[in-house]
Structures are given as C-alpha cells and as structure tokens.
Amino acid sequence: MTRWPIPEPMERALALARAAAADGEVPIGAVVVRGGQVIAEGRNAPRATHDPTAHAEIAAIRAAAAALGAERLADCDLYVTLEPCAMCAGAIVHARIARLYYAAADAKGGAVEHGARVFDHPQCLHRPEVYGGIGEGEAAALLRGFFRDRR
Amino acid sequence: MTRWPIPEPMERALALARAAAADGEVPIGAVVVRGGQVIAEGRNAPRATHDPTAHAEIAAIRAAAAALGAERLADCDLYVTLEPCAMCAGAIVHARIARLYYAAADAKGGAVEHGARVFDHPQCLHRPEVYGGIGEGEAAALLRGFFRDRR
C-alpha cells in the first residue's frame, strides 16, 4: 500500500510548524487557501510577540483578511497542523472559513471535536466543513519532539 | 433606592462602545485593568480593519500584553460591554485574565453562559472569576440603538 500523500497546503503548514519550533514556540502552523493557492500563512508565536492570541490560525486568518481587504473569507479554506482551540475555532466562524482541514486532534486544548465543540452549538453562526487526520502523524511527532526536548 | 454606580472601567468600556458605533462598528468596548488602573483599551473594529478577529476584547488583550511585554496577564481584569464570544473567551483563557466583568449577556453570540460555555469544560486550562450584569442596561441599549438605526 502506498500512503495517500499529504496535500501541499498541509505540507506547508507542517513546515511552518517546524519553523515555529526552531524559534522556541510550540510547533503549530496554518495556511489559508483560496482557489488552490496559499494566500496567507501563520505560525504559533505568542512567546516572541508577547501576544496570547498569536496562534497559527489567528495569524493566517488576519493575514488573509488583510490581503483580501475583506472581513470575511467565505471562499477560503484553512489548513492547520492541530485541532483548533476555542479562540481559533471562534475566529474561523467569524471569518466564515468554508473548509477546515486539521492534522492532529487535540484532546486537551482542541475545541472542534473536544471540549467546547464550538461549531456544534445551535447558536454557531457558521459551521465550516471539517476534515481531520491528514498529516496527523507528522504533526503529532513535531509536538511530541518539542515537548520532549524541553523536559 | 439609589442604583449602584457603574464602575469606572465599565464606564470607559461603554464610552469605547459608543466610539465604535460612531465609526459604524457594532458597539462593544473593553478595557484591561491592573492594580486599579486601565492599562489597555479596545473596541470592536472588524469592518474598518478588515480583520474578523478585531473584537474589543482581542484588541484590549493584545494591547495589554504588548504594554506589559508578557504573554500572560495573570493579575489583570477585563471589563467588556457584552458577554464574550467563543473566540474572545478563548483569548481570555490564553491570557490568564483573573477576573472577567461583562455588562449585557448575549444569548446569540455569547460563549460564557451560553452556547459553547468555554470556561465550563474540564479541559479549560484557566477559568477566570466571572461577573455579569453590571451596566447591562446601557450596553444593551447601545446595541439595540445601533441595529435599529441600520434597519
């Protein structure tokens, strides 16, 4: 059996996660894709930037909205290496992201299939299509390696 | 009976909400308080900034973290005119805000006492003390007036 290849945007998100780790940040990366092209990128950087909101998804969404000059990213998809937290899931709702692809699930901090399950409430204004698991081995190994090296 | 006065930080948050409305943004304001002093302010500005994450709380938290040069705001309180959404509640967790004071509840978009109830899950890393209702009449009137004028 040949394993299904990781889509290019998720490979780019994994590369951004590696770059975050090299800077001492928890390795998480994200990209926003529109019409098959990566239009914005983000990586986790709360330590370097002194910004508790500087998660990969927030950075990528802000950059995409700035690039498009629009508050909403309705025809855009987000690829991220880890299941989004409540903050990032909320931002995905506000940005009207069409499809969310994430690699590893996060039973502790995730808020899509765990915890707050932000998209699963009747009040949720927008629910993206959600696809999980592609690239999860690579994403989880990056996180494990990062925390092991810090012990 | 004399009504209990609105605390000064909430009065400031209400003033910021009014300023947002004057700029055509949904009127929500927030301030971060440390040691009795307002150290950062924010108001809703997603339309003007083309940034779906530009809620009052996010702006105030980012400004406070930048002012302190710290990723966490552990000895800080947040005052906001409306019950935070999932994104902002998540940011409050990441910032380790000690006390959250909000004016009006938000049955549609709120995620503290409604919907995702972000602080109420066992996975939640940090739960601030939460106080609701003070200034709610003023905050709700601002929102009602804003949406009435736009109909």
Is B129 designated active site?
no
Residue A3 to chain B, least CA–CA distance (Å): 33
Q: Is A34 left (phi over 0), alpha (psi -120 to 50) or beta?
A: beta
Cα distance between residue B144 and residue B129, in whole Å: 28
Check CB contact of A53 with chain B, cutoff 8 Å: yes
Q: Which of A128, A14, A19, A139 is nearest to A72 (CA)?
A: A128
Question: Which stretches of chain B score pLDDT less than 70?
Answer: 1-3
* Residue in A72, A123, A125 to test binding to B, most B beta-carbons within 10 Å: A123
Q: What is the DSSP string of B8-42?
A: HHHHHHHHHHHHHHHTTS---EEEEEETTEEEEEE
pLDDT-derived band at A102, boundaries 50, 70, 90: very high
Nearest to B72 among A52, A85, A124 (CB): A52
Closest A-chain CA to B68? A50
The predicted pLDDT at position A1 comes to: 60
Q: Confirm whether the ipTM is greater than 0.90.
A: yes
Check CB contact of B67 with chain A, cutoff 8 Å: no
The predicted pLDDT at position A7 comes to: 95
**B90 close to B115: Cβ distance less than 8 angstroms:** no
Which residues of A are annotated as catalytic?
Answer: 57
Check CB contact of A50 with chain B, cutoff 8 Å: yes
pLDDT-derived band at A21, boundaries 50, 70, 90: very high
**Cβ within 8 Å, pair B70-A53:** no
**B89 close to B57: Cβ distance less than 8 angstroms:** no
Which pair of tokens denotes residue B86?
Answer: 């999932």
Cα distance between residue A133 and residue A72, in whole Å: 26
